[in-house]
Amino acid sequence: MISLPAFTPKDPVCAVACADYQEEGLKAALSLLLRPFDKTLALIKQGMTVVIKANLVSAMKPEEAATTHPLLIKTLCELLLDMGATVLLGDSPGGLYNAAFVERVYRVSGMTEIEREGVSLNRDFGQKEALYPEGKVLKSFSYTSYLDKADLIINVCKLKSHGMMAMSCAAKNMFGVIPGVIKPEYHYRFPKHEDFADMILDLDDYFHPVLCIADAVVGMEGNGPTAGTPRQIGCLLASTSPHCLDLAAAAILGLKKENVPTLEAAYRRGYIPEDAEKLGVVGDLAPFFLSDFQNMPLQASVEFAQSRKNPLLRFFGTLAAKILRTRPVLHKKLCVGCGVCANICPAKAIIIENGKAKIERGLCIRCFCCQEFCPKSAMKVERTVIARLFHHEKKAKKHKKD
């Protein structure tokens, strides 16, 4: 792959209106979206292999808004093919990383139609091992070997709410380079949300997509990233930095960097400014702001644990964080006892008892894999009772102050 400079807070973000997935509108919107990145696109030379890393989290139809829309991918691929590139599209969904499983994901998500345009879908299901001593937390890892064929990677993600990371967009999309069956191992290796976020950033740094494009025409709100509700947002976003793009996307959803662990990690590394207002934006984000977007319950505030000098405050801070943090909760009426959650749980914190899933709270690491991959949406992200009362009180005080 071509060596690229480090991400910086000065990487511009472009925002363009796009109301639907009609071909003419997509072509016009994508043309405007990519105009500020002419120098980046100039890196693509005749015969180069460009890998499109899509979001193909599961075998879900395009209208369910869990995966990157195939018509956006198709429009981008046509542009790349016209530039003389060889285009390879891939991802490692959650589950088995083999031909039978991934082919179904390609078919259901609409990606097989793109093959007719001269695009190759990845069918190399090998794995490689990488050593990355420069990583902050990820010094070695397994990855999908087809990425070795890439001269350049373009990250085409989907804007969604997310149980663990609050939001899934450009930075989180690169977790798909980890083969599906071993993704739970990485949740177990990095159970703390800050460490998991740093792991995601290490992957972004290592693979360094040359360009990131977010499908925010229709996103997902609520119980995302797979069991939420489609939500019209009406735009496309692009940046050479996944983190600057994510900061802009968070602003659209009504989130700040403090609400999204990957953004906090990016800020600590100097990759993004303090807030979206300080981004260099081509276009205008304001028309896309959603004041009523149904985000996941936010993580516990860290204000209780600010003082590290006072042992008593530190103790109560840790206790408050445990009491107030979100967790997966089973809605028994929806559970059919299929065992998907138990099989995928990296901490082995779920058992099937009397035909229903049961979470062993003492073992749960709050990775929300069960919530993400439950086929019946029976797992929901919820606050504890105390956290709900605390949040209600804070909200009431805010309204009174306003």
Residues 283, 307, single domain; the answer is no
CA 207 to chain centre: 16
User: In this structure, what token pair is assigned to residue 354?
Assistant: 């009397």
Q: What is the pLDDT of residue 305?
A: 43
Stated as kind and residue range, the H or E segment containing 389 is helix 385-401
**Is 307 a member of any domain?**
yes
Q: Return d(Cα 52, Cα 212) in angstroms, integer.
A: 10
Residues 247, 102, single domain; the answer is yes
Q: What is the pLDDT of residue 316?
A: 47
Q: Return d(Cα 323, Cα 200) in angstroms, integer.
A: 26
Residues 181, 153, single domain; the answer is yes
Q: What is the pLDDT of residue 117?
A: 87
The count of other CB atoms within 10 Å of the CB of residue 390 is: 17
Q: What is the pLDDT of residue 302?
A: 37
Residues 144, 267, single domain; the answer is yes
Residues 250, 368, single domain; the answer is no
Q: Which residue has the tokens 């403090």?
A: 258
Residues 319, 272, single domain; the answer is no
Describe the chain by its helix, strand, coil percentages, rounded to 5: 40, 20, 40
Q: Return d(Cα 24, Cα 171) in angstroms, integer.
A: 29
The count of other CB atoms within 10 Å of the CB of residue 56 is: 27
Last residue of a domain, one of 255, 288, 321: 288
pTM exceeds 0.95: no
Residues 125, 262, single domain; the answer is yes
**Is 331 a member of any domain?**
yes
Instruction: Supply the CATH number for residue 340's domain.
Output: 3.30.70.20
Residues 284, 232, single domain; the answer is yes
Q: 348: which DSSP letter? A: -
**Is 156 a member of any domain?**
yes
Q: What is the pLDDT of residue 385?
A: 52
pLDDT tens readout for residues 110-168: 999 999 889 999 999 999 999 999 999 999 999 999 999 999 999 999 999 999 999 99
Stated as kind and residue range, the H or E segment containing 59 is none
**Is 5 a member of any domain?**
no
Question: DSSP letter string over 160-198?
Answer: EEETTTEEESHHHHGGGGS-GGGHHHHHHH--SHHHHHH
Q: What is the pLDDT of residue 382?
A: 81
Please give the residue range of the domain that contains residue 377: 303-401
Residues 269, 349, single domain; the answer is no
Q: Return d(Cα 121, Cα 322) in angstroms, integer.
A: 44
3-state secondary structure of 142: strand
Q: What is the pLDDT of residue 296?
A: 87
Residues 273, 389, single domain; the answer is no
Instruction: Supply the CATH number for residue 246's domain.
Output: 3.40.50.11440
Q: Return d(Cα 214, Cα 289) in angstroms, integer.
A: 15
User: In this structure, what token pair is assigned to residue 286?
Assistant: 């304001």
Task: Look at the chain and count its residues.
Answer: 402
Q: Return d(Cα 134, Cα 126) in angstroms, integer.
A: 24
* Pairing mode, strands 86-90 and 120-121: parallel
**Is 1 a member of any domain?**
no
Mean pLDDT by 10 residues, the chain (402 residues): 90 97 97 97 96 97 98 97 97 93 97 93 97 97 98 98 95 96 90 94 98 98 96 98 98 96 97 97 98 82 45 51 72 94 91 95 89 90 58 46 51
Q: What is the pLDDT of residue 384?
A: 56
Total of domains in the chain: 2
First to last CA, the chain: 53
**Is 330 a member of any domain?**
yes
Last residue of a domain, one of 258, 288, 318: 288
Stated as kind and residue range, the H or E segment containing 214 is strand 211-221
3-state secondary structure of 113: helix
Q: What is the pLDDT of residue 230?
A: 98
Q: Return d(Cα 199, Cα 188) in angstroms, integer.
A: 12
Residues 280, 388, single domain; the answer is no
* 373-377 contacts at long range (C-beta below 8 A, 24 or more positions apart): 373/58, 373/94, 373/95, 373/226, 373/340, 373/341, 373/344, 374/227, 374/340, 374/341, 375/338, 375/340, 376/334, 376/335, 376/336, 376/338, 377/223, 377/227, 377/334
**Is 194 a member of any domain?**
yes
> Residue 322: what residue type?
K
Give yes or no for a contact between 159 and 215, defined as CB atoms under 8 angstroms apart: yes
Last residue of a domain, one of 265, 288, 311: 288
Residues 340, 221, single domain; the answer is no
**Is 362 a member of any domain?**
yes
| Range list of H helices, 58-210 | 70-82, 99-109, 170-173, 183-189, 193-207
